[in-house]
A and B are shown apart, each in its own frame.
Chain A
Amino acid sequence: MVRWVDLKDSLSNFWFEFKRQKTGILGILLLIFWILVAIGAPYITEPDIPEKWKTIWIEYPKTVPPTWVGVFTGVSEAPQYVVPPEELQKYVRVEGTKIIIDVPYNMKYDVPPQDIVIMDISGNSTNRRLKPSLTLKVLRPDGEEITLVSGLKIKGTTDVQVARDSSVRKAVINWVKQKTGIQLDPTKEFQLVTTLDTLKVVFAKLSPDMLDNPQALKGEYHIIVEIKTPKGTSVDLSNTKLILTGRTYGYLGTDNKGRDLFAGIVWGSRVSLTIGIATAVLTVIVGIFYGVAAAYFGGWTDELMMRFQEFMASIPSLPILILLGTYFGGHIQLWQIVLLLTVFGWVGIARVARSMAYQIKEQTYVEAAIALGAGTGRIIFRHMVPQLLPYAFAQMALNVPSAVLAEASLSFLGLGDPTQVTWGQILHDAQNAGAAVNGYWWWVIPPGLAIALVALTFVLLGTALDRVLNPRLRRL
């Protein structure tokens, strides 16, 4: 029987030794940090991120860097500006059958907002032909007025986004041509219709080269939304929000669907930690028992088990994992990843555990137990496995990084669990969107650093544990 006093004693001995391992302490601090992040994810960000992650985040700017970037570049970029429903009501006035929303906006930045988004306008009509229609204009500080959208029919609940709309781009280009009198050759115009950064021109000083090189015009703008409500129709603006999406967002920017990368990174920690720890623990348990069993039975059983072990070791695991991933319909669920990584991961540990178990088996007390007629299970569980525990604990920690890296790699290839937010998937999306080509560093660097940092946490813990628990193996 293990006595409590002994346990407490050995634990305090262990802690005394462990405290002297600086890397181990750093590992523990990092581990605590990650656990806090993983548990606190719903409170640090929002609780519905995993469901929301699959959608496009309309009211967020697309592929913009973090807000703190401005500190280094010295350029002031428009931040996210939201007019919530309550505040919006203040700007609403009704003129006959027309509803006018006039939102003032003080543009005092070098780079204007990315987009104008109107969320949740619901239109009702009893007449099938007539629908409420919306016109969006911007009144500029120089007295000019641009109509971005005119006569948009509102059916049901509608969201309006203007920056990536080619008809809005055409309207803006025509406005510029009319105001400055410039001529555009057709290929150039066609190119502009697909690539123009609309709002940079809307918020620019009037000049002939404002399409190519817009200079921000600072001052008081008015975003004017006119909604015509013919007879029999009505609109409900009680939930309507107006958003001027920023040129920067949050702590870590956004991706091309407008998803907040900070939220993604925070939630991704859950998957990494779960997969890493679950896989490592299972792998080591399987490996230890396999090795001990092989050593205990010896002879032909051992020979057979070792042949099987060699067989598993020689299977190229990543290709097979990829094959299995596509076999499961292109996506592997979390528990399947854990299972697969365990199936391919126990091999090395089994080999070492077997050789260690052979040494233990030769010791007199085990022989005595066998001679006294102790059962197989008792000898394996009571006498052999506990001797291997120190090795097992260190191995668990050392195995986490490879599991974390393996999961990230599979997700990076697009084979991960689609219901989860993972760092590998974020990098997969980044690769697909050509983040490296386009220089979206905030989309590539943080997830990779996070993977590396989790891996490092467990490498630090593992090596420290190894040094304390297995002084004999220290130099292997």
Chain B
Amino acid sequence: MGMGKYLLIRAINALIVLSIVTLVVSALFVKMAEKDLENRIQELVNSEYQSLLQQNKAPSDPEKWREERIAYYRHQFKLDRPYWWRVLYYAKRTITLDFGNTRIPIFGTERNVKNIIALALPRTILLFTTAQIIVIIIGLLLGVKAAQMVGSLFDRALSILALITTSIPMWWFGMMMLLIFAFKLGWFPANSMPDPNLTGLAHVLDVAKRLVLPVTTIVFVLFGGWAWVTRNIMIGTMQEDFIMAARAKGVPERKVIYGHALRAAAPPIVTMTIFSLLGSLGGAIITESVFNWPGMGRVYWIAIQTNEINLVMGLTFISVALYLIGVIIADISYGFLDPRVRVGASASM
């Protein structure tokens, strides 16, 4: 199978998955928001009635007026349509990238879902991608070092550290960091919302200061696992024949490790890199909530709590789309990096 055809199939596949996920989320969320909307209509009609009363413009037949207003709002919120119609309606709108507005402004004054995502996504990228890059660098360096001296004290200590850190809930560690460094010692701000009064360099420094605690948290929880996996992959590669051959030829050890072995170990590492970079884009909902970091995860949580259908749909759509793009990129890069992997091998198996 050719690369072009393979890519096409993958893309179509991704689109189908994306549509189904959108539909499922729509089905779930439309049902969930129903009750909330009904209550909201009651409240709206009640407050309207109160204000009419205050202006001495009370309707002559309150019951009829009430029914009319309720019918009007039900039409506005599309509650007069059947359930399946609403599910399809929201799913279709989302797939055609028409995300609409939220009812309540998020981030101050913003109500347009696209703009909210455009604000939140870069912040999540800034936080998680920075952290991930640090994790990958530390993880690779430590992992390679450990693989060089298997069974040494360093190797064993690293393995134990990796096992312990991966067992820690990231958000709990975040709470601990806040407790110690923000509240006890007061070194860093506890709130991650950037100061709106600062501009230019001061703004950059402000954001950087607010980044320290969340980034440290993410790095600490994740680097051990990375180092451990890298170590295991490297141990496997170092035992292969071409490494022996390179050593036998008298290639310097440094070059054997960083030039030969690490290059051969690259495909799985690159795949992992892509997946963790993309997996982080959705934002770890709880970690962002703990640090009050105004990114995708935080917005997602706010959206669910306030029953903002449009926002939930938009956020889900974007994160699933990003993930699927990541899967395709990972597949392609795997094919490029490792000639042994025949592209599309799984399809013809």
Interface residues, chain A, CB within 8 Å of chain B?
Answer: 23, 303, 306-307, 310-311, 314-316, 318-320, 322-324, 326-327, 358, 401, 405, 408-409, 412-413, 427, 430-431, 435-439, 441, 444-445, 447-448, 451-453, 455-456, 459-460, 463, 474-476
Residue of B with least CB distance to A22 = B156
Q: A314 — which chain B residues lie within 8 A by C-beta?
A: 17, 21, 320, 323-324, 327
Q: CB distance A401 to B167 under 8 Å?
A: yes
Residue of B with least CB distance to A302 = B349
Q: CB distance B184 to A439 under 8 Å?
A: yes
Q: A358 — which chain B residues lie within 8 A by C-beta?
A: 349
Selecting from B230-238, B241-249, B336-344, the interface stretch reads B230-238
- Contact with A23, one of B21, B163, B178 (Cβ below 8 angstroms): B163
- Contact with B286, one of A409, A439, A476 (Cβ below 8 angstroms): A409
Chain B 198-236 near chain A by CB (<8 Å), digits 1 or 0? 000000000000000000000000000000000011011
Q: Can you report 7 A-B residue pairs in the complex whose CB atoms are below 8 A from each other?
A: A319-B282, A326-B304, A326-B305, A435-B179, A447-B172, A448-B172, A452-B168
Known A-B contacts A444-B176, A475-B235; A452 and B25 likewise in contact (beta carbons under 8 Å): no
- What 15 additional pairs, Cβ within 8 angstroms, besides A326-B32, A475-B235? A23-B160, A314-B320, A314-B323, A315-B21, A319-B285, A435-B175, A436-B178, A436-B183, A448-B172, A448-B173, A452-B164, A452-B172, A453-B167, A460-B163, A475-B232
Q: A436 — which chain B residues lie within 8 A by C-beta?
A: 175, 178-179, 182-183, 190
Inter-chain CA distance A272–B236, complex, in Å, is 35
- Contact with B163, one of A319, A441, A445, A463 (Cβ below 8 angstroms): A463
Q: CB distance A459 to B166 under 8 Å?
A: yes
Distance between A346 CB and nearest chain B CB, rounded to angstroms: 17
Inter-chain CA distance A102–B304, complex, in Å, is 56
Q: A445 — which chain B residues lie within 8 A by C-beta?
A: 176
Q: CB distance A409 to B171 under 8 Å?
A: yes
Known A-B contacts A314-B327, A326-B32; A401 and B179 likewise in contact (beta carbons under 8 Å): no
Asked if B300 CB lies within 8 Å of chain A CBs, one says yes
Q: CB distance A327 to B316 under 8 Å?
A: no
Q: A448 — which chain B residues lie within 8 A by C-beta?
A: 168-169, 172-173, 175-176
Interface residues of B in 290-334 (CB under 8 A from A): 290, 300-301, 304-305, 312, 315-316, 319-320, 323-324, 327
Distance between A154 CB and nearest chain B CB, rounded to angstroms: 42
Q: B13 — which chain A residues lie within 8 A by C-beta?
A: 307, 310
Asked if B20 CB lies within 8 Å of chain A CBs, one says yes
Q: How many residues of B contact A (CB 8 A)?
A: 52
Distance between A97 CB and nearest chain B CB, rounded to angstroms: 54
Q: A453 — which chain B residues lie within 8 A by C-beta?
A: 167
Distance between A343 CB and nearest chain B CB, rounded to angstroms: 12
Inter-chain CA distance A320–B312, complex, in Å, is 10
Inter-chain CA distance A476–B168, complex, in Å, is 23
Inter-chain CA distance A460–B167, complex, in Å, is 10
Q: A427 — which chain B residues lie within 8 A by C-beta?
A: 172, 175
Interface residues of B in 142-189 (CB under 8 A from A): 160, 163-164, 166-169, 171-173, 175-176, 178-179, 182-184
Inter-chain CA distance A456–B319, complex, in Å, is 30
Q: CB distance A439 to B179 under 8 Å?
A: yes
Known A-B contacts A327-B28, A413-B286; A405 and B169 likewise in contact (beta carbons under 8 Å): yes
Q: CB distance A409 to B25 under 8 Å?
A: no
Asked if B90 CB lies within 8 Å of chain A CBs, one says no
Q: B183 — which chain A residues lie within 8 A by C-beta?
A: 436-439
Known A-B contacts A316-B320, A401-B167, A431-B290; A311 and B20 likewise in contact (beta carbons under 8 Å): yes
Q: A459 — which chain B residues lie within 8 A by C-beta?
A: 163, 166-167
- Contact with B323, one of A316, A401, A412, A475 (Cβ below 8 angstroms): A316
Q: A444 — which chain B residues lie within 8 A by C-beta?
A: 172, 175-176, 179
- Contact with B169, one of A23, A310, A452 (Cβ below 8 angstroms): A452
Residue of B with least CB distance to A410 = B286
Q: B31 — which chain A residues lie within 8 A by C-beta?
A: 327
Inter-chain CA distance A476–B289, complex, in Å, is 34
Q: CB distance A456 to B179 under 8 Å?
A: no
Known A-B contacts A310-B13, A436-B179; A316 and B282 likewise in contact (beta carbons under 8 Å): yes
In the A-B complex, the 4 residue pairs with the smallest Cβ-Cβ separation, listed nearest first, are: A455-B167, A448-B172, A475-B236, A456-B167
Distance between B34 CB and nearest chain A CB, rounded to angstroms: 11
Inter-chain CA distance A10–B169, complex, in Å, is 37
Interface centre among B179, B301, B304, B316 (most CB of A within 10 A): B179
Q: CB distance B320 to A401 under 8 Å?
A: no
Inter-chain CA distance A437–B316, complex, in Å, is 32
Asked if B29 CB lies within 8 Å of chain A CBs, one says yes
Q: A318 — which chain B residues lie within 8 A by C-beta?
A: 285
Interface centre among B184, B316, B347, B349 (most CB of A within 10 A): B349
Interface centre among B32, B167, B235 (most CB of A within 10 A): B167
Inter-chain CA distance A452–B166, complex, in Å, is 8
Distance between B122 CB and nearest chain A CB, rounded to angstroms: 19
Distance between A453 CB and nearest chain B CB, rounded to angstroms: 8
Q: A474 — which chain B residues lie within 8 A by C-beta?
A: 232
Inter-chain CA distance A314–B327, complex, in Å, is 9
Known A-B contacts A314-B17, A463-B163; A323 and B304 likewise in contact (beta carbons under 8 Å): yes
Q: A435 — which chain B residues lie within 8 A by C-beta?
A: 175, 179
Residue of A with least CB distance to B165 = A452
Q: A412 — which chain B residues lie within 8 A by C-beta?
A: 169, 171, 286
- Contact with A324, one of B28, B235, B305 (Cβ below 8 angstroms): B28
Residue of A with least CB distance to B168 = A452
Known A-B contacts A315-B320, A448-B168, A451-B169; A322 and B175 likewise in contact (beta carbons under 8 Å): no
Interface residues of B in 3-23 (CB under 8 A from A): 13, 17, 20-21
